[in-house]
A and B are shown apart, each in its own frame.
Chain A
Amino acid sequence: MRTLDQTTREILELATLQFKVPPGSLRAEDDFYKKLGIDSLQTLDLLSRLENHFKIELPDYEVQGVSDFKTLAERIQARL
């Protein structure tokens, strides 16, 4: 079972790779909409990648209003 810290780290790594940002430039508290400059279509793409990576289902209504990686990690942790 992953810890919340591990889950957060994996999300940051996945987002770093997917959106091609410099390694280490993303932090748990970052607003991913602002930091990654992504629109809602890309957000859904990220959601799919997270679901596939963690092998979970994360309904989009559970990430409604979520904008930082830390809270996103908590939502994912609840589904692991």
Chain B
Amino acid sequence: MSKGRTSRSAVKEFRGAALRWEWRDGVVELTLDFEPLNEIGTVMLADLEKFVAAFDSLAPITSACVITSARPGGFCAGANLKELYQGALPLSPKKRATGMRAFLKRIHVVMNALDAAPFVTIAAVHGLCMGGGLELALVCDLIVADKMARFGFPELRLGLIPGFGGIPRLRRDVGNGFIRDLLFTGRTVKAESAQQAGLVSHLAGEGYALQVARSMAQQVTKFDAETRVAAKKFLKPIPYQELQREIDLFCKLFSRPVVMESLPRFVETDEPMKHLPVAEHPRNP
């Protein structure tokens, strides 16, 4: 960070419907806080767009960004399936695909901007980090995980693939054995396994992910900004072509009847973990 430089227009504090951020000493902390578990739909997306729009003003005074969650259940449960289903229900398959493509393009603009953020981004993950939530964590440069955190991509249960850039970014970071296991079984993995696979940089004790991430962020502020930005560009190229192919494939899969047949099972329940196999147990027969 360039010491002494300030930006009068920097949006150092913001409180939206789904998240808030606060800047302090070269570090901006973005806190997701949207019930029930930070689902990414139009509300979360609109707030993330505001955050990304603030990058230009924050960049001169910011070395690192910590993304965390205020929800006790975890980091983020993924896409807002209820909104997705209810929005798609009255539409023809063709219009569903068109609407989905428009939404995905907005999401990808945000994800790509976060991926290329002009500061080091650190996801502090606790609890559940699934689907779109894992895709959000994957755009970050580093992931710090509470040892009780769990990661997964359950999209194949819905007849879909991850659509917010998950597969290309996983391929950038980890091996195919791990990716195929996550995708084809739809299982969740514990934080320690995610670290062994190369997804997670640091494991934190239970309840300490944010503290560890803040410590990393403070360390980042000590180095030269120009070098940091150059190193990030060199280390972390964005796989634009593959991301576009993912959007195309997602929209093709999304237009099939099987998806609209699968979605009700996941949205017509208040279970926080409705997309996981453990949730299919009839708890109250």
- Residues in chain A within 8 A of chain B (CB atoms): 33-34, 39-41, 43-45, 47-49, 51-52, 57, 59-61, 63-67
Contacts and interface: CB of A to CB of B under 8 A. Distances in A.
A43 B189 contact: no
Majority-rule SS of A interface residues:
helix
Interface residues of B, number: 27
Given A40-B273, A41-B128, A41-B273, A57 B281 contact: no
B277 A52 contact: no
Contact of B187 (A33, A52, A60): A60
A59 B278 contact: no
B147 A44 contact: no
Nearest to B74: A41
A47 B278 CA distance: 10
Interface of B: 73-74, 127-128, 147-148, 150, 185-193, 271-274, 276-281, 283
A41 B189 CA distance: 14
Contact of B193 (A45, A57, A65): A57
Contacts of A34: 283
Contact of A59 (B73, B148, B187, B192): B187
B273 A61 contact: no
Given A45-B127, A64-B278, 19 more contacts: A33-B281, A39-B271, A40-B272, A40-B274, A40-B279, A41-B127, A41-B273, A44-B276, A47-B150, A48-B150, A49-B148, A52-B148, A57-B189, A57-B193, A60-B276, A61-B185, A61-B187, A61-B277, A63-B278
Nearest to A57: B193
Nearest to A33: B283
A52 B147 contact: yes
A43 B281 CA distance: 11
Nearest to B146: A48
Contacts of B283: 33-34, 39
Contacts of B192: 52
B188 A60 contact: yes
Contacts of A45: 127, 148
A55 B148 CA distance: 13
12 contacts: A33-B283, A34-B283, A39-B273, A40-B271, A40-B276, A40-B281, A41-B272, A44-B188, A48-B190, A49-B148, A61-B277, A65-B281
B190 A65 contact: no
B175 to A, nearest CB: 16
